[in-house]
């Protein structure tokens, strides 16, 4: 199995990586109300997967996203990092960026 196949098998197909992320006051937030226009919300699959880095400028290669701690601990890739003993800090998942400005 090559690296690409391994990464594909590790992915849980949750679609969280396809939502808008923002760094605010030193913390990463994922806005679940703002999915990428190419994310099929039913299947949680990218509809332009092979061309995603070309068609969607904000789509980052996974190693960049992982280095910037933009995936939750439930992500298959993050779970693998944790198994390897690498430290990881979870982003905060919100349902709207307004939740950041107006916390309960």
Give 28's strand partners.
23
- CB contact set of 8 (below 8 Å; sequence gap of 6+): none
- CB contact set of 60 (below 8 Å; sequence gap of 6+): none
Q: What phi and psi, each to the nearest 5 degrees, are found at residue 30?
A: -115, 120
Residue 54 has pLDDT above 70, yes or no: yes
Residue 68 has pLDDT above 70, yes or no: no
Measured CA to CA, the distance from residue 72 to residue 82 in angstroms comes to: 12
pTM of the model: 0.75
Measured CA to CA, the distance from residue 66 to residue 81 in angstroms comes to: 9
- pLDDT, mean of residues 39-56: 91
Measured CA to CA, the distance from residue 49 to residue 16 in angstroms comes to: 15
Residue 67 has pLDDT above 70, yes or no: no
Quick one: which H or E segment has residue 94?
strand 92-94
- pLDDT, mean of residues 26-35: 88
Residue 40 has pLDDT above 90, yes or no: yes
Q: Identify the pLDDT of residue 39.
A: 95
Higher pLDDT, 87 or 93: 93
């Amino acid at each position: 199995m090559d690296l690409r196949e391994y990464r594909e098998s590790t992915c849980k197909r949750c679609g969280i990586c396809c939502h808008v992320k923002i760094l605010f006051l030193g913390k990463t937030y994922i806005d679940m109300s703002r999915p990428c226009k190419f994310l099929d919300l039913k299947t949680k699959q990218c509809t332009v997967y092979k061309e995603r880095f070309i068609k969607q400028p904000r789509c980052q290669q996974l190693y960049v996203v992982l280095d910037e701690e933009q995936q939750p601990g439930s992500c298959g890739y993050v779970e693998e990092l944790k198994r390897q003993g690498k430290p990881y800090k979870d982003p905060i998942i919100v349902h709207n960026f307004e939740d950041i400005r107006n916390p309960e």
